[in-house]
Chain A
């Protein structure tokens, strides 16, 4: 495993992303409400650059003819077919078995320690992608 510095600590604001290239692979680094997540920039459906998609909310599951908007900035919408992915888990909202591929992240901040299922290390230099 190797560590690659991909962003400064305050570089990516909440609700925003940064695209990075590490070892020839593109990743999107997303700040979702202060928590960071990294995903491969390849949609598991049809291969689009999924990480350039819209970061948005969505219509929550509701009873018939009721509408409720929520999850603002927690959803990534693929730029081709509009598939919605949960940025917190990488799961497609319709078929959770269809997942964005993760990269493990580490960051210096204690408050964002549970970034990803992967192990974390802290470092004063910024956010690191572990490959």
Chain B
């Protein structure tokens, strides 16, 4: 390779990939062309799953992200490009949907699967076709693994779909055999499986903590990582990564700083209790570092930023962590500021390289540029 080729390739390589960007409907009616008629009235006249917690901010969205026509933040792809991708030089945005990912917690599994399929077709049609910088997450209904597998096989091969996504609220920890067919299908199609929080304690999910319900939105939001710890613990101990050695699991928006504790506790117990998980061939923390990927937002903000760098070192963040903004939600992280205190070599890995490797996005998308005309 000549020096010139090398530098051209370098220019083409993505520098910033945002791994958690929320697209939503301008109106629920947008889903109808993709949803069988039998479900229309239910979709239009009911909430997918309820939400008992009220945020004193009044909305999950940034107030400054309302679209020019007064629509829901995140509902206009052209405006999202202008307001977020172009504004922050984002090379790819991994779209993670919105409340539809909670379809797994609806009481009716058939309705949940219908919503997942309709949303996926809508996403391909209304978002992925708009700009090649958008990459999609395939929503599945994990309450019906057979339907979820069919959905992965139906659409998982789409060139602009880069992962499977499901809500993190659940009734069975994610390592258990109930989900294995889903992981098998995802692994066969070379798709990571991602989870996103927000459904903890809602719909069919159990309370957000084993001790019951927090009373406040803040209290609920504070403790979301407990569920992520439960799932990662389960995934490792149940041998998911021995059974599916190519599978990657993405823990979106669940926090990061708790991970060293979990790794060390699991490793210590494994040294004494290995015979209860004889299928594990390595320390639990080694499975975590190889198979789990975490996203930064909402990045922890200790008063002494060096403490966060220390924690990032403990979990080899240069391999395991990917940048996310959570646009257009209220706890959005500013791409220009969120990682400013992270050492450069690690920052580059977090901003783009880890996502390039996970999602196979080695080259920047060729796009026309610009959002709204």
Within 8 A of A (CB), among B41-79: 55-57, 62-64
Number of B residues, CB within 8 Å of A: 14
Q: Are the C-beta atoms of B334 and A79 separated by less than 8 Å?
A: no
Distance (whole angstroms) from the CB of B255 to the closest CB of chain A: 16
Which residue in B56, B62, B331, B336 is a CB contact (below 8 Å) of A79?
B62
Number of A residues, CB within 8 Å of B: 12
Given A81-B330, A82-B56, the answer on whether A47 and B336 have CB atoms closer than 8 Å is yes
Give the complex CA separation of A119 and B24 in angstroms. Answer: 49
In the complex, whether B337 has a CB less than 8 A from a CB of chain A is: yes
Q: Are the C-beta atoms of A47 and B334 separated by less than 8 Å?
A: yes
Q: Are the C-beta atoms of A47 and B337 separated by less than 8 Å?
A: yes
Q: Are the C-beta atoms of B337 and A80 separated by less than 8 Å?
A: no
Q: Are the C-beta atoms of B63 and A53 separated by less than 8 Å?
A: yes
Q: Are the C-beta atoms of B57 and A77 separated by less than 8 Å?
A: yes
Number of A-B contacts (CB under 8 A): 33
Give the complex CA separation of A52 and B336 in angstroms. Answer: 20
Main secondary structure of the interface of B (DSSP, over half): loop
In the complex, whether A46 has a CB less than 8 A from a CB of chain B is: yes
Q: Which residues of A contact B62 (CB under 8 A)?
A: 48, 79-80
Q: Which residues of B contact A79 (CB under 8 A)?
A: 62-64
Q: Are the C-beta atoms of B64 and A80 separated by less than 8 Å?
A: yes
A53: nearest chain-B partner, CB-CB:
B63
Given A77-B57, A82-B57, the answer on whether A46 and B333 have CB atoms closer than 8 Å is yes
Contact with A along B317-342 (1 / 0, CB 8 A): 00000000000001111101110000
Q: Are the C-beta atoms of A54 and B63 separated by less than 8 Å?
A: yes
Q: Which residues of B contact A48 (CB under 8 A)?
A: 62, 64, 334
Q: Are the C-beta atoms of B334 and A46 separated by less than 8 Å?
A: yes
Q: Which residues of B contact A81 (CB under 8 A)?
A: 330-332
Give the complex CA separation of A77 and B334 in angstroms. Answer: 17
B334: nearest chain-A partner, CB-CB:
A46
In the complex, whether A113 has a CB less than 8 A from a CB of chain B is: no
In the complex, whether A49 has a CB less than 8 A from a CB of chain B is: yes
Q: Point out residues on A near B: beta carbons under 8 Å.
A: 46-49, 52-54, 77, 79-82
Given contacts A48-B64, A54-B63, A80-B330, 11 further A-B contacts (CB under 8 A): A46-B332, A46-B333, A47-B336, A48-B62, A48-B334, A52-B64, A53-B63, A81-B332, A82-B55, A82-B57, A82-B330
4 closest cross-chain pairs (CB), A and B: A79-B63, A79-B64, A82-B57, A46-B334
